[in-house]
Amino acid sequence: MKSTIRFVSAITFSLAALSAQAATLTVGDNLMIESINGQVVSGEQVQLAAGNHLVELRFSDRYYTNANSSGNWVKSAPLFTQISLTEDEALSLQTPKLSNEVQAREYVRQPVVTLTSANGRNENLSLQTQAQLMSQLLAAM
């Protein structure tokens, strides 16, 4: 019985310590996190360890031309960026305000997100397609 209590306490303490050191990454409504460092994830918020991470995102949003319109979807292929997180940092990736389908299609051709944090971090990050990412990796070899 004592060993079970110790085991449960150790697990609880480990999880608390892990969550205390984790960083949080969230994205806006029109972005989805597809993978982190090649590991599939889903959702608009993930917990990450401190360090550098390759983030795969996908843009998707619906734009309406009028009140009777069923809307047109604008979607991107996978988009990649690299981010660096510190312990207990909460980061957010947001697209610029896109008011219509034309702006959204232009955005997908040249995607940029704004990375912000509660501690004042604010920077624009260009997103890359898979082909651009592979070209960059091969050029670095």
pLDDT band at 8 (very low <50, low <70, confident <90, very high): very low
Question: What is the average pLDDT across 29-41?
Answer: 95
pLDDT for 56: 96
Give me the percent of the chain exceeding a pLDDT of 70.
Answer: 85
pLDDT digits (tens, 9 = 90+) for 47-94: 999 999 999 999 999 998 877 777 899 999 999 999 999 888 999 999
Mean pLDDT rounded to a whole number for the chain: 84
Residue-wise burial string across 53-82, b where 16 or more C-beta atoms lie within 10 A, e elsewhere = bebbbbbebebeeeeeeeeeebebeebbbe
Question: What is the average pLDDT across 102-126?
Answer: 95
3-state SS, the chain, equals: CHHHHHHHHHHHHHHHHHHHHCEEEEECCCEEEEEECCEECCCCEEEECCEEEEEEEEEEEEECCCCCCCCEEEECCCEEEEEEECCCCEEEEECCCCCCHHHHHHHHHCCEEEEEECCCCEEEEECECHHHHHHHHHHCC
Residue 36 CA to residue 29 CA, distance in Å, equals 18
pTM given for the model: 0.79
